[in-house]
Amino acid sequence: MKKSVLKIVIILNVLFLSVAGLVSLSCAEKGVEVGDTVVLTADVLAVDKATRTLTLKGEKGKIVDMQVSEVARNFDQIKVGDKLTLSYYESVAVYLGKPGTKPEEDASLVATRSAKGEMPAGMVIGTVDVSSEVVAIDKKNRSLTLKLPEGKVVTTKVDKAVKEFDNLKVGDVIHSRLTKAVAVSVERK
């Protein structure tokens, strides 16, 4: 998990440095959050119960086969003509913490699924929280050196559009939260 968290913190901090230029952070309690939701729907064209495969036709007419895990409850209730809806949400929130705060990392996952006998549905929400400490600032080359929770140090360039760069100080802490959520449901037409 540490390697994936390391990759995520680097991505989140680069996102911060890209996004922070769009919104001014006037105090340590304020931050920036960017998120979006995508909703896809598809008609069920075929159901192969032996292989747990659905053949779906999307809104633009594209046809795809989708293998459904045993974890998905009530697969046997899906019929040709049903409509599958998939909603995907992702957000990144970034804010400055109090100087001297120790870098941290945390992750959580919540999953639900429909009860036995109901139409198939489920949802998964995951979050990763990571903070990194500013350990060096190179104003001339517009770069930050950040200390990650496990002690690794990385350096990243900061775009000129990021006005908050000029206000950062060694010891500041950048907190980042990545949230992803996926919901799937099947409905009768």
How is the chain split into domains, by residue range?
2-187
Mean pLDDT (the chain) is 83
Q: Looking up tokens 């495969």, which residue turns up?
A: 53
pLDDT above 60: residue 107: yes
State how far the Cα of 108 lies from the Cα of 165, in Å rounded to an integer: 30
The answer to whether 91 touches 33, Cβ cutoff 8 Å, is yes
pLDDT above 90: residue 149: no
Give residue-wise pLDDT tens across range 2-34: 444 444 444 444 444 444 443 333 333 457 788
pTM to 2 decimal places: 0.70
pLDDT above 80: residue 92: yes
Q: Looking up tokens 């489920």, which residue turns up?
A: 122
Q: Quick one: pLDDT at residue 158?
A: 84
How is the chain classified by DSSP, letter by letter? Answer: -HHHHHHHHHHHHHHHHHHTTTS---STT-EEEEEEEEEEEEEEEEEETTTTEEEEEETTS-EEEEE--TTSTTGGG--TT-EEEEEEEEEEEEEEE-TTPPP-EEEEEEEEEPPTTSPPEEEEEEEEEEEEEEEEEETTTTEEEEE-TTS-EEEEE--TT-GGGGG--TT-EEEEEEEEEEEEEEE--
Among the ranges given (52-61, 94-103, 154-163), the one the predictor scored with the smallest mean pLDDT: 94-103
137-141, 161-165, 174-178 — which one is most confidently predicted on average? 137-141
Q: Quick one: pLDDT at residue 4?
A: 45
Provide the percentage of residues in the chain whose pLDDT is more than 90.
57
pLDDT above 80: residue 148: yes
Token pair listed for 42:
């598809």
